[in-house]
């Protein structure tokens, strides 16, 4: 999983293997070590909620996405169009959350499947 942060925009990007794990109920995790100072852990899960949820603290980020949305995206792969939500905050500084599956990985897998089907 790749986590990109730019101001009030946060993007979570996974590959198809991670997507398969998510859709079987497993969590996907990543961590970044900032030298000897601290480590930031990010965990992504899906469940039956209708809106995404962000939980945790400064060093432990937990994202829970609506499983139905993630499954709908999986059915459209490969696509460059991911999922997006606005997570409001009390002070008005909403967080724009984006979720994508690596298109290059999806396109390569689709091409490989078609190639193997033609060879069968």
Per-residue model confidence as pLDDT tens digits over 17-75: 999 999 999 999 999 999 999 999 999 999 999 999 999 999 999 999 999 999 999 99
Instruction: Delimit the domains of the chain by residue range.
Output: 2-119
> Is residue 52 within 8 Å of residue 85, measured between CB atoms?
yes
Separation CA 63–CA 60 (nearest Å): 10
Topology, domain 2-119: Gyrase A; domain 2 (3.30.1360)
pTM, to two decimals: 0.84
Residue 8 has φ and ψ, to the nearest 5°, of -95, 25
Sheet holding 28-34, edge to edge: 28-34, 38-47, 60-66, 53-57
Separation CA 108–CA 54 (nearest Å): 32
């Amino acid at each position: 999983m790749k986590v990109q942060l730019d101001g009030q925009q946060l993007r979570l990007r996974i590959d198809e293997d991670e997507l398969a794990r998510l859709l079987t109920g497993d969590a996907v995790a990543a961590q970044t070590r900032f030298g000897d100072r601290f480590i930031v852990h990010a965990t992504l899960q899906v469940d039956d909620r209708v809106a995404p949820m962000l939980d945790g603290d400064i060093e432990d980020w937990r994202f829970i996405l609506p499983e139905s949305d993630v499954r709908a995206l999986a059915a459209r792969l490969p696509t460059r169009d991911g999922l997006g939500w606005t997570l409001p905050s009390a002070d008005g500084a909403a967080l724009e959350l984006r979720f994508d599956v690596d298109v290059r990985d999806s396109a390569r897998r689709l091409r490989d499947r078609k190639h193997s089907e033609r060879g069968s």
